[in-house]
Amino acid sequence: MSDPSAAEKPARKNTTTAEETAPVKTTASKAAAKKATAARKPALPEKAAPKPPTTTRPRKPESRTALVRRARRINRELAEVYPYAHPELDFENPFQLIVATVLSAQTTDLRVNQTTPALFARYPTPEDLASANPEEVEEILRPCGFFRAKTKSVIGLSKALVENHEGEVPGRLEDLVKLPGVGRKTAFVVLGNAFGRPGITVDTHFQRLVRRWRWTEETEPDKIEAAVGALFPKSEWTMLSHHVIFHGRRICHARKPACGACPIAPICPAFGEGETDPEKARKLLKYEKGGFPGQRLKPPQAYLDAGGVPAPPLGAAG
């Protein structure tokens, strides 16, 4: 017997729709599709990394007149900051000064000042040092470094003073530079500070700062001396040297200048080479502005009045 309801039901077709047959996209296949699409697109150029900001002032062309004015203004500013600037070698006469200056090569004025009291106590005159036992002098000068070469220089210098200048330090440049161990730098230190005759002392601090300030691009000391000397009246040369050297030792250091504590920052073309944050810069200050002793064991009274502290003698604690 047949089921009457079977005739009423339509025959089911054995077919499927396109939607039913299409594969289902998984998360992995979607990611692969995106990668394929991205690969077909042209690559965009990468943005260049931003340059770090700099506080160093850009170099601008400067006329000769502008250079002279700027250099002299810097010197005036430094004169106000260091009115007590002075040679930082202890000496009581020209002989002590010339010997101390010869000994200061490749060491600090402080180390020389700590060493020369014993030397001058034992050999107070050129005659005494000229006839000294080299081994005994070497032992005294050992803390200065290069003590054998320096012993030879100061004994030879003393002999030349005795034999050629009656035991007196000459007051002329042409005579001074002929003495053993004496070059133009030493000669100008002696002329300016023992005889009151103007001279420019081109030491390492002076060379570094005048090039930083773009007073000159020369690298040889005699050429630096000539270039800088032409910017100033001759009468200012000696004190100019003291101002620049004082500033180089105290604020405008070789490796990390204290730019943020520098009194000439507004007019310095090298501002930004060192620490510009005022608080951090103050921690870099040396000598009287940082609470440390200066170079001399017996500094001028003006230095002490300004808050300077005498250096400790050789072997002192701390």
Catalytic residue list: 185, 203
Dihedral (Cα; 223, 226, 227, 232), 10-degree rounding: 160
Q: What is the C-alpha to C-alpha distance for residues 139 and 141, in angstroms, rounded to an integer?
A: 6
Q: Supply the DSSP symbol for 180.
A: T
Q: What is the C-alpha to C-alpha distance for residues 226 and 173, in angstroms, rounded to an integer?
A: 15
Q: In the numeric block, which tokens belong to residue 130?
A: 């000229």
Mapping DSSP to helix (H, G, I), strand (E, B) and coil, where does residue 79 land?
helix
Give me the half-sphere count of Cα atoms (radius 13 Å) on the Cβ side of residue 38: 7
User: In a 10 Å sphere around its CB, with 0-12 CB exposed, 13-18 middle and 19+ buried, how is residue 134 labelled?
Assistant: exposed
Mapping DSSP to helix (H, G, I), strand (E, B) and coil, where does residue 250 land?
helix
Give the contacts of 280 (CB within 8 A, at least 6 positions apart).
260
Q: What is the C-alpha to C-alpha distance for residues 99 and 178, in angstroms, rounded to an integer?
A: 14
Q: In the numeric block, which tokens belong to residue 94?
A: 């020209």
